[in-house]
Every structure is written in structure tokens, then in C-alpha cells.
Amino acid sequence: MRTFSLDIGNTAVKYGYFQDDVLVESATHQTPDQVRAAVQRLQPEHAIVASVAEPTATWATELCDTLPGLVLEFVPASTPLPIQNGYATPHTLGADRLAAAVGAAWLLHGRNVMIIDAGTAIKCDLVDANGVFRGGSISPGLAMRFQALHTFTGRLPLVERPANLVTPIAFTGDNTLSAIQSGVLNGAAAEVRGFVEEYRAQYPGLAVVLAGGDAAFFHARLKGSIFVIPELVLLGLHRILVHHVST
């Protein structure tokens, strides 16, 4: 089966082209014209569209005009899933969080899995060994933290994220720039480490999966075995589409 997953995020539009569960091609920061050209070139059979930023109808309609098969608009509250959704308010659940959970549960079937999706926001979510999405936490991402300190204070400057996020940041900043960098970067790392430690205490043998644009930053700062799967959301969307087509 050839599928096309389209993930419309807060800061970027991404696509993934799969052949029988293998991600053959993906791209980020795509315009509508680039997506259209990719679909015409790759000729997928089916597609799925998910968004946390804008309605999916326009994208889906355009794909319907191009593809021979199903074009699925992913709605977390109503789209059939290969896992159970235990979230109390599914109508408020972001498509990216649920798709990442589906991808993690498929890759690590039968295990308790913590998913850390580090992008515009930092989402720490849990899928248990029975394949039930339990929910988790949402906090500001790295760029948002830097921006907030500047926006909501009178004199703190806007500090850009370091180009190399893997390099350690001094814990004790000796000037305003380095103090902000320490607070944002070391603070975010300490926050996520705390969540990992708490989940590991509650769920022995927990698997931890990292995804999102800032995955490398957290991978360099977390201990223990960590799976880094940058395209986890695209994989989850693909598995939701396969489940839908097969049933």
C-alpha cells in the first residue's frame, strides 16, 4: 500500500510517503504547490490529512482531486484508531499527540511508552502496555520560552536559540544572555527529565520515544535508553490510515 501522510503543524507543513510501512520520503516546510507536486510525482493510493493549525478540508479536497483512493481527514474524537483513546476530552486532543501515540504503540507493541514530542510545544504523553492512550502534559517549547521572556517583561532581550542545541549550556549564567539561556534550556531539560523519572517510577520497563524538531536537544540530556524517531507523527498517521482502509 502506498500512502501519503500530511501533517499541518503550528510552524510547518510536513509530508511522508510510505510503501508498506516503510517511510520512503519526507519533507518539512512545504507549500501547497510543493505538496501538490510531491503527490503528482509519488502517486500514492491513499492519503491522510491532520492539522493542529488550520482546517483540513481545503487540503483534503485538493488531494481528493488527485488520488484514486481514500483521503481521510483525521479527527481525533471520531476517526477509528488501532489503539484505545482514554483521553477524557477527545474533542480537545491535538491530532499530532494522538498520531504520535499510535506510531509509538505500533513500534513498541505491548510496552508502556512515554512519547516526548518536542516542537512548538513540548508534549509528554503515555500509551500503556494495553494500547490505551492515557494523556500527559503540554508546556511551551524552547522557542516559545525565549519569546515569552521578552514579550512579557519590560527589559529582557529576545534571545535566539543557540544554533547548536546539543552543546551543554552553562548552568550558572554570569550575564543576562547566559542566564536566559540557562533558564530556558537547562530548565526545559530538567522539566522533561522529571517527567521521565516519574513515569519510569510508575511504569517499570518504560520505553521512551523522542520526536519533534528539538528531539536532539533532549536526547543529549536524558539518561537511559531513548528511541529517537523524528517522523513519529507521520508514521502514526500512516498507521491510522492503514487501519481505516483495512477495516
Active-site residues, by number, are 96
Measure the CA–CA gap between 170 and 178, rounded to whole angstroms. 7
Q: Is 121 helix (H, G, I), strand (E, B) or coil?
A: strand
Q: By the 8 A CB rule, do 32 and 62 touch?
A: yes
Measure the CA–CA gap between 71 and 51, rounded to whole angstroms. 14
For residue 104, the surrounding DSSP H or E stretch is helix 95-107
Measure the CA–CA gap between 243 and 141, rounded to whole angstroms. 31
Q: Is 33 helix (H, G, I), strand (E, B) or coil?
A: helix
Beta strands 207-211 and 113-118 are parallel
**DSSP secondary structure code for residue 91 in this structure:** G
Measure the CA–CA gap between 64 and 80, rounded to whole angstroms. 20
From first CA to last CA, the distance across the chain in angstroms is 14
- How deeply is 191 buried, as exposed, middle or buried, from its count of CB atoms within 10 A (0-12, 13-18, 19+)? middle
**DSSP secondary structure code for residue 233 in this structure:** H
**DSSP secondary structure code for residue 17 in this structure:** E
